[in-house]
């Protein structure tokens, strides 16, 4: 009995000491809110794998950031807002940045992180008006926001219709959540501006059953359908659109509705489906070569390595790269490798990912350049349209990166953020 | 005929077809509830597990590959390139029977004579365990399931109905997904087979005897454990059929387990102990939710009635006929 107790004691001590040593050595903590289980796991896993592989590569190739290893503890949220908030509370101590990977969680973390002095980076999702750095000091959503996305999609439709969409009908099929509702305001404004009729079609979580939604579309015959979906909702929507023979080149998803997962179950029916994107597909970039060399070839790949080069994996790489770059910039600004969360925020605000810098980081032509400023936390606002080739089973970029309608978007951002500032009694900065 | 009327008929038809898909899940619940009084919360996960296993066999995926590779530093992913559908379905059926046996040995055997709520809680636990095991065995990726069942809108129906609209009206035919038609055919075959099995075979009669009275069945020498394994195996088979249909429609992924939630209102309407009830309940729910979404959904700002209207119907039914349309009326003499 005593020997057993002794062994348990020794084991517990070893675990305690080893975890202490790990924290002491790994100075830069980048907690990850992931969903590797549950209904949204097929999207959560490749994205999380992209993050982990990039962090591992930086640790292996460069010895960390300025010599400080990256620690990336994972916390499983299951895409549930409440669990995401608990994960934040559990991991916020000494955390450099949180990437909530959910608009619902982001909304909850905005006031908390602002009070705690922790950076939140919601890459191309979350609260759009957080792009206004004057109000949202700790929140970043570069390189592009949902409102940019909505106006870029409309711009693409405008181009296809020689600049005139008056009288046309555009339907928005959206996840009935904070995320899915984000573009509505912008689309309503754009519908007044361009004279198109907007049809709103919410789909409840998880979106497994959408027959009535697509019967409505079949009956109303909109000229274009936009989609703000996630998880199974995307697959069912693409398949349903193909089933009712809706022209797939008139069906455009936001960048979270444009992964391989979303189109493969529909087979050939998905051919021609479009989505917006702010990063390129493929696995031939320098960053992929480095990850292969320093991570995968050493048997250290996150998961089984099968998501390498997929859309959501690549997005994870991009997100992780921006987060690491913010730490690099923070170290330069403050002249120390041992940065604090406050210093990290300064770094994020000064991130300048020019084309040359992207090339240096192994991301040449991977995404459009962008920089954050005190006023602008929303990046360049650029996105392109990609189209699914069902025969070759790959996404092809079919447009250049383009801007949205900045007149409309900036006005809406100013309105929404001023309202938030008044509610929260936040004094505007950057003056 | 007016286009509005044709659209109404189309909505009803599609509702009926969706209802059949719900009934396929509800059937598994009814069978287990009838035979053992257990409300099997894990039925949705059964469907998911069966579909995952089927795709795994079809594509030659090594079960627990991720775990094996992690533990032993190996790099196994696939045994073989592909397996014929028929063989994969047979193997999946065998797996579901084995699963039923394991559940009986590890869970049910130890809970004989426990309160129904204990058994219900056990099935909730079972659902989570099975979901986790499914994830470990086959991974969480979205999987394409193709067993050769055609899908997509029926061109024949479109062409046949296009002329029904009044001349000059803007109508281009009625829509029905061929996959749903197949689901209906399969559900009909399934129900007839189940009815014949329970009516005309010795095992079927034993099954009904257990469903009527456990004690009486035991007293005439019917093995309760064998019947339980049998019933769980049959509902495993039904889950496989449901998994194939739903998996073909949306790809095999973990949200498939949530289809069980759609079976609940079906059971409340049809009754927990009636096979025809599961079918009629499914049809009513399917039609009700589609009509609600299309004809009154526009009046709700938040919309998305399709997902929750079934529960409104179930609640209304609970108020007026708690035992459902075909369920046994509960009469307790004091």
Of B151, B255, B289, the CB nearest to A212: B289
Residue at A103 is within a domain: yes
Residues of chain B with Cβ-Cβ distance to A42 below 8 Å are 140-142, 253-254
Residue at A7 is within a domain: no
**Region at B330 (left for phi over 0; alpha for psi -120 to 50; beta for the rest):** beta
| CA closest to A303 among chain B residues | B66
Cα–Cα distance, B80 to B82 (Å, whole number): 6
| Closest to A216 in 3D by CA, of A195, A199, A198 | A199
Sorted by sequence, the CB contacts under 8 Å of residue A134 that are 6+ apart come out as A374, A375, A417, A428, A429, A430
Question: How close A171 comes to chain B (CA, Å)?
Answer: 13
Percent of residues in chain A assigned helix, strand, coil, to nearest 5 = 50, 15, 35
Q: Is A241 on the interface with B (CB under 8 A)?
A: no
Is the same domain home to A184 and A274? yes
Cα–Cα distance, B258 to A207 (Å, whole number): 10
Is the same domain home to A242 and A377? no
Q: What pLDDT sits at residue A25?
A: 44
* Cβ proximity of A373 and A345 under 8 Å: no
Q: Is A206 on the interface with B (CB under 8 A)?
A: yes
Of A42, A202, A269, the CB nearest to B142: A42
Cα–Cα distance, B42 to B48 (Å, whole number): 10
Coil/strand/helix, residue A282: coil
Q: What pLDDT sits at residue A11?
A: 53
Residue A199 sits in a domain whose CATH number is 3.40.50.2300
Per-10-residue mean pLDDT, chain B, length 334: 92 94 92 85 94 95 88 84 93 95 90 86 94 90 91 92 86 92 93 89 88 84 88 92 92 88 90 90 94 85 80 91 79 66
Residue at A6 is within a domain: no
Side-chain half-sphere of A311: how many Cα atoms within 13 Å? 25
Residue at A8 is within a domain: no
Residue at A5 is within a domain: no
User: Does A23 score more than 70 pLDDT?
Assistant: no
User: Does A24 score more than 80 pLDDT?
Assistant: no
Residue written as tokens 């008044």?
A: A422
Residue at A1 is within a domain: no
Is the same domain home to A272 and A397? yes
CA-to-CA separations, A190 to A185, A406, A412, in angstroms, rounded = 9, 11, 11
User: How close are the terminal C-alpha atoms of chain A, in Å?
Assistant: 69
Q: What number of other Cβ atoms are within 10 A of residue B50's Cβ? A: 29
Choose from A46, A231, A243, A271 for mutation: most chain B CBs within 10 A: A243
| Cα Rg of chain B (Å, integer) | 22
| Cα Rg of chain A (Å, integer) | 22
> What is the average pLDDT value for chain A, to the nearest integer?
92
Question: How close A317 comes to chain B (CA, Å)?
Answer: 19
Residue at A18 is within a domain: no
Q: What pLDDT sits at residue B195?
A: 86
pLDDT above 70 covers what percent of chain A? 94
| Closest to A390 in 3D by CA, of A307, A266, A229, A240 | A266
Q: Is B168 on the interface with A (CB under 8 A)?
A: no
Phi, psi of A403 (to 5 degrees): -85, 155
Cα–Cα distance, A321 to A315 (Å, whole number): 10
Cα–Cα distance, B52 to B142 (Å, whole number): 10
Choose from A212, A236, A307, A393 for mutation: most chain B CBs within 10 A: A212
Question: How close A20 comes to chain B (CA, Å)?
Answer: 25
Side-chain half-sphere of A151: how many Cα atoms within 13 Å? 24
Is the same domain home to A300 and A416? yes
Is the same domain home to A92 and A154? no
Cα–Cα distance, B29 to B282 (Å, whole number): 13
User: Does A26 score more than 80 pLDDT?
Assistant: no
| CA closest to B75 among chain A residues | A304
Residue at A431 is within a domain: no
Q: What is the pLDDT of residues A379-394, one digit of tens each?
A: 999 999 999 999 999 9
Q: Is A41 on the interface with B (CB under 8 A)?
A: yes
Q: Is B263 on the interface with A (CB under 8 A)?
A: no
Cα–Cα distance, A292 to A305 (Å, whole number): 10
Task: Say whether A200 and B306 touch across the interface (CB within 8 A).
Answer: no
Question: How close A263 comes to chain B (CA, Å)?
Answer: 10
Is the same domain home to A159 and A274? yes
Lowest mean pLDDT segment, chosen from A4-13, A225-234, A251-260: A4-13
Domain span at A65:
30-145+282-381+411-424
pLDDT grade for A1, boundaries at 50, 70 and 90: very low
CA-to-CA separations, B103 to A316, B126, B224, in angstroms, rounded = 40, 9, 14
Of A211, A261, A265, the CB nearest to B290: A211
Side-chain half-sphere of A316: how many Cα atoms within 13 Å? 28
Is the same domain home to A342 and A287? yes
> Does this complex have an ipTM over 0.85?
yes
Question: How close A410 comes to chain B (CA, Å)?
Answer: 26
| Closest to B171 in 3D by CA, of B154, B158, B153 | B158
Choose from B150, B157, B250, B252 for mutation: most chain A CBs within 10 A: B250
Task: Say whether A215 and B135 touch across the interface (CB within 8 A).
Answer: no
| CA closest to B77 among chain A residues | A304
User: Does A238 score more than 90 pLDDT?
Assistant: yes
**B 220-259 near A (Cβ less than 8 A):** 246, 249-251, 253-256, 258-259
Q: Is B11 on the interface with A (CB under 8 A)?
A: yes
User: Which residues share a beta bridge with A385?
Assistant: A276
Average pLDDT over residues A272-295: 96
Is the same domain home to A296 and A415? yes
Number of domains, chain A? 2
Cα–Cα distance, A300 to B265 (Å, whole number): 47
pLDDT grade for A18, boundaries at 50, 70 and 90: very low
CA-to-CA separations, A278 to A227, A256, A289, A364, A367, in angstroms, rounded = 16, 10, 21, 14, 6
Is the same domain home to A174 and A233? yes
pLDDT grade for A45, boundaries at 50, 70 and 90: very high
Sign of dihedral through CA atoms A41, A47, A49, A52?
Answer: negative
Q: Which residue has the higher pLDDT, A7 or B151?
A: B151
Q: What number of other Cβ atoms are within 10 A of residue A387's Cβ? A: 19
User: Does A166 score more than 90 pLDDT?
Assistant: yes
Of A40, A206, A243, the CB nearest to B177: A243
User: Does A46 score more than 90 pLDDT?
Assistant: yes
Q: What number of other Cβ atoms are within 10 A of residue A79's Cβ? A: 27
Residues of chain B with Cβ-Cβ distance to A239 below 8 Å are 151, 249-250
- Both tokens of residue A298? 């050493």
Q: Is A47 on the interface with B (CB under 8 A)?
A: no
Q: Is A210 on the interface with B (CB under 8 A)?
A: yes
Q: What pLDDT sits at residue B133?
A: 93
Is the same domain home to A253 and A322? no
* Cβ proximity of A403 and A145 under 8 Å: no
CA-to-CA separations, B101 to B45, B88, B215, in angstroms, rounded = 17, 20, 22
Is the same domain home to A195 and A270? yes
Question: How close B304 comes to chain A (CA, Å)?
Answer: 5
Residues of chain B with Cβ-Cβ distance to A269 below 8 Å are 152
Coil/strand/helix, residue B110: helix
Is the same domain home to A350 and A398? no
Strands A28-29 vs A70-71: parallel, antiparallel or unpaired: parallel
Q: What is the pLDDT of residues A65-105, one digit of tens each?
A: 999 999 999 999 999 999 999 999 999 999 999 999 999 99
Choose from B19, B21, B141 for mutation: most chain A CBs within 10 A: B141
Q: What number of other Cβ atoms are within 10 A of residue B1's Cβ? A: 13
CA-to-CA separations, A17 to A13, A20, A74, A369, in angstroms, rounded = 6, 5, 20, 43
pLDDT grade for A10, boundaries at 50, 70 and 90: low
Coil/strand/helix, residue A350: coil
Cα–Cα distance, A69 to A12 (Å, whole number): 25
Phi, psi of A90 (to 5 degrees): -70, -30
Question: How close B112 comes to chain A (CA, Å)?
Answer: 31
Residues of chain B with Cβ-Cβ distance to A201 below 8 Å are 303
């Amino acid at each position: 009995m005593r020997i057993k107790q002794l062994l348990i004691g020794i084991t517990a001590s070893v675990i305690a000491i080893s975890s202490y040593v790990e924290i002491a050595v790994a100075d830069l903590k980048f907690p990850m809110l992931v969903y590797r289980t549950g209904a949204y796991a097929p999207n959560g896993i490749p994205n999380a794998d992209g993050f982990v592989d990039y962090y591992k590569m930086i640790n292996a190739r460069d010895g960390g950031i300025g010599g400080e290893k990256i620690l990336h503890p994972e916390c499983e949220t299951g895409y549930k807002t409440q669990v995401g908030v608990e994960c934040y509370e559990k991991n916020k101590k000494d955390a450099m940045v949180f990437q909530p990977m959910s608009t619902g969680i982001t909304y909850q973390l905005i006031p908390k992180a602002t009070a705690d002095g922790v950076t939140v980076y919601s890459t191309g999702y979350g609260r759009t008006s957080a792009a206004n750095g004057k109000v949202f000091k700790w929140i970043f959503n570069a390189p592009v926001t949902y409102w940019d996305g909505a106006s870029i999609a409309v711009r693409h439709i405008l181009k296809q219709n020689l600049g005139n969409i008056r009288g046309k009908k555009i339907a928005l099929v959206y996840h009935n959540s904070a995320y899915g509702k984000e573009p509505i305001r912008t689309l309503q404004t754009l519908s007044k501006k361009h004279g198109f009729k907007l049809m709103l079609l919410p789909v409840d979580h998880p979106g497994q059953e959408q027959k009535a939604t697509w019967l409505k579309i079949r009956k109303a015959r909109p000229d274009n359908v936009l989609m703000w979906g996630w998880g199974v909702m995307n697959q069912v929507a693409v398949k349903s659109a193909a089933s009712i023979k809706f022209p797939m080149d008139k069906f455009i998803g936001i960048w979270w509705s444009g992964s391989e997962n979303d189109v493969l179950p529909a087979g050939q029916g998905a051919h021609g489906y479009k989505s917006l994107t702010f990063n390129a597909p493929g696995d031939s970039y320098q960053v992929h070569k480095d990850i292969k060399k320093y991570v995968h070839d050493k048997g250290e790949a996150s998961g089984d390595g099968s998501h390498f080069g997929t859309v959501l994996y690549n997005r994870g790489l991009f997100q992780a790269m921006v987060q690491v770059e913010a730490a690099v910039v923070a170290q330069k600004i403050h002249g120390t490798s041992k940065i604090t969360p406050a210093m990290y925020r300064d770094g994020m605000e000064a991130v300048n990912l020019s084309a040359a810098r992207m090339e240096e980081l192994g991301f040449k032509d991977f995404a459009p350049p962008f920089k954050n400023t005190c006023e602008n936390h929303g990046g360049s606002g650029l996105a392109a349209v990609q189209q699914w080739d069902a025969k070759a089973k790959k996404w092809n970029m079919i447009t250049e990166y383009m801007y949205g309608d900045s007149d409309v978007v900036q006005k809406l951002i100013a309105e929404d953020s001023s309202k938030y500032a008044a509610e929260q009694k936040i004094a505007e900065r950057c003056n | 005929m007016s286009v509005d009327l044709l659209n109404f008929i189309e909505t009803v038809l599609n509702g009926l077809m969706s209802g059949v898909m719900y009934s396929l899940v509800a059937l598994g619940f009814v069978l287990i509830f009838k035979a053992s009084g257990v409300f099997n919360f894990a039925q949705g996960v059964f469907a998911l597990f069966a579909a995952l296993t089927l795709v795994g066999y079809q594509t030659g995926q090594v079960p627990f590959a991720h775990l094996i590779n992690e533990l032993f530093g190996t790099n196994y992913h696939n045994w073989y390139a592909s397996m014929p559908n028929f063989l994969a379905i047979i193997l999946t059926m065998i797996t579901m029977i084995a699963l039923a046996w394991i559940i009986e040995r590890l869970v049910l055997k130890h809970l004989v004579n426990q309160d129904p709520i204990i058994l219900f809680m056990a099935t909730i636990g079972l659902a989570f365990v099975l979901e986790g095991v499914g994830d470990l065995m086959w991974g969480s990726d979205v999987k394409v399931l193709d067993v050769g069942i055609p899908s997509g809108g029926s061109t024949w129906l479109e062409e046949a109905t296009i002329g029904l609209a009044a001349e000059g009206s803007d109508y281009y035919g009625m829509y029905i997904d061929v996959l749903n038609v197949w689901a209906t055919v399969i559900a009909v075959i399934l129900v007839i087979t189940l009815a014949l099995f329970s009516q005309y075979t010795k095992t079927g009669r034993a099954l009904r005897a257990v469903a009527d009275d456990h004690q009486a069945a035991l007293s005439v020498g019917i093995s309760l454990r064998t019947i339980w394994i049998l019933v769980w195996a049959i509902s495993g088979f039904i889950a496989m059929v449901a998994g194939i249909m739903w998996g073909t429609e949306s790809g095999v992924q973990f949200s498939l387990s949530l289809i069980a939630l759609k079976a609940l209102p079906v059971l409340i309407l049809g009754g927990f102990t009636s096979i025809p009830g599961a079918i009629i309940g499914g049809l009513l729910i399917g039609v009700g939710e589609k009509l609600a979404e299309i004809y009154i959904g526009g009046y709700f700002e938040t919309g998305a009635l399709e997902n929750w209207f079934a529960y409104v119907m179930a609640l209304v039914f609970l108020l007026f006929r708690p035992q459902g349309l075909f369920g046994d009326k509960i009469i307790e003499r004091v």
